[in-house]
Amino acid sequence: MDKIIEAFHDGINKSGRDREKMCMVTDIAYDPEVVDYLGVDLFHTNRGRAIAFATGMKLSNPNLILAVFIGDMATLGGNHFVHAARRNMDLFVVCVNDFRYRKVAAQETPGDFSRLEFSSYCSIEQPLNLPHLARSNGAVYVARWTALHHEDLINSMAEALPQAGFKLIEVISPKPELLEFFYLNSEIKHGEDTAKVGIEEDKKIVVGKFVERERETFIDAYNKQHYKVLGDKFIKIAAE
């Protein structure tokens, strides 16, 4: 986890974006020191509601830069994920895929890499291909790295942060003893068709930058449509 925050820190530096305007919205608790280290405002919301919370923030103050860290993949918040991508809400989403919830003992998440360790209670379900879901719903930037691809991750973050629209970076970060295994079992394939990057047993994990494109963001579309219809009577949303 620390590695991701570090990469985020360096990514912000490299992208040259203003930390004071940056808000980090999460759905799991981070150590309070993260706030001091990053110099951002941190909002820890309910499980799964981080993206919706960030949507409200963005629409109320379009100057804010919103970084959403979702910890438990797209289980509870899958719907908000899909619809924020569809609307192309200007959010930078980091999905930390640790193949299980950090805080509760052993259990499945949609991204579970099945049968790494067999217990009477391990994954029986097929994992969700999050990059594909993001792309097909309209995300403008989709990448995946493991936490050990440190430089790549920083570059990806620096690249994605200034872009307008819904950006997703999936970071694979299971418990430390497994991280090495994943790192070694990954291959970089930039621009790979997201339909083929599903995480499956006995296959290498595909990492890299899969999607980079431009689409009108929600706020732009909103402004444009209302200008068109209302002309000068329309008042744009601004920060108070």
Partner 1 sequence: MNGNQACAEGSLAAGCRFLGFYPIQPCFEIVQHFADRCVDVDGTFIQMEDEISALAAVLGASWAGKKAMTVTSGPGFSLMMEHVGLGVMLETPCVIIESQRFGPSEGYPTQAGSGDVMQSRWGSHGDYEIITLSPNCPQEMFDLTVRAFNLSERYRLPVVVLADKAVGSMVEAVIIPKAEDLRLKKRKRYSGPKGKYLPYEYDKDLVPWMVKAGQGYRFHVTGLTHDEKGYPVMNAKCQEWNVHRIINKVRLFSDDIIDYEEGYTEDAEVLVVCYGSVSRAAVRAVRQVRKEGIRAGFFRLKTLWPFPEQRILELARQVRTIIVPEMNYGQAFLEVDRCSRGKAETIFVHQDFPKVRSGVDIINAIRKADVKA
Partner 2 sequence: MKALEAVEKQEEIPPTEHPMDDVLRMDRIPHIWCPGCGIGLAVTAFVNALEKMQVDLDKVCVVSGIGCTGRVAGYIKTDSFHTTHGRALPFATGLKLGNPDLKIVVFSGDGDIVSIGGNHFIHAARRNIDILVICVNNFIYAMTGGQVAPTTPRSAYTTTSPFGNFETPSNIPQLAESAGAVYVARWTSLHMRRLTQSIIEGFQKPGFSMVEVISPCAMYYSRINKLGLGIDMMKFYHDNSVIKHGEPTENLDIGFQSQIIVGKFVDRERPTFSELYKGWKKEVKTVKRES
Partner 3 sequence: MKADPKNVFTGSHYIDGDVACAYGAVAAGCKYLAGYPITPSTEAAEAFAVKAPYVGAQFIQMEDELGSIASVLGASWAGKKAMTITSGPGFSLMMETIGLGAATETPFVIINIQRAGPSTGVPTSTGQADMMQAKWGSHGDYEIIALAPESPQESFELTFKAFNLAERYRVPVMVMSDECVGHMAEKVVIPNAQELEVEPRRYFTGSKKDYKPFKRDKDLVPWMARAGAGYKLYLTGLTHGEDGRPIFDVKTFEMKSKSLRGSTNRYLVDKIRHNRDKIIKFEEHQTDDAEVVVVSYGISARVAIKAVKEARESGIKVGTLRLVTVWPFPEKRIEELAHQVKGFVVPEINYGQVVYEVDRCSQGRANVILVPHGGAAVHDSDDILGAIKQAATDHNPYDRILEYTTALEREVFGENMVSKI
Could you tell me where the DSSP H helices lie in the chain?
A: 2-15, 33-38, 50-60, 78-87, 130-137, 150-160, 176-184, 218-230
The site string for partner 3 over 76-115 (x = CB under 8 A, - otherwise) reads ---xx-xx--------------------------------
Shorter beta-carbon distance to partner 2: residue 61 or 136: 136
Least separation in angstroms between residue 95's CB and partner 3 is 17
**Three-class DSSP category at 232:** helix
Candidates 2, 13, 46, 180; binder of partner 3 (CB under 8 A) is 46
Locate 61 and state its tokens: 């103050």
Q: Any contact of residue 17 with partner 3 (CB under 8 A)? A: no
Kindly provide the b/e burial profile for residues 211-222, where b requires at least 16 CB atoms within 10 angstroms of the residue's own CB: beeeeebbbeeb
Least separation in angstroms between residue 76's CB and partner 1 is 4
Q: Any contact of residue 23 with partner 3 (CB under 8 A)? A: yes
Candidates 181, 225, 236, 237; binder of partner 2 (CB under 8 A) is 225
Least separation in angstroms between residue 50's CB and partner 2 is 14
Find the helix or strand (DSSP H, E) in which 83 lies.
helix 78-87
Find the helix or strand (DSSP H, E) in which 175 lies.
none
Q: Any contact of residue 29 with partner 1 (CB under 8 A)? A: yes
Strand ranges inside the chain, DSSP E? 22-26, 41-44, 65-70, 92-97, 141-146, 167-172, 186-188, 205-212
What are the residues binding partner 2 (CB under 8 A)? Answer: 74-79, 82-83, 86-88, 110, 118, 120, 124-129, 132-133, 135-138, 195, 215, 218, 221-222, 224-226, 228-230
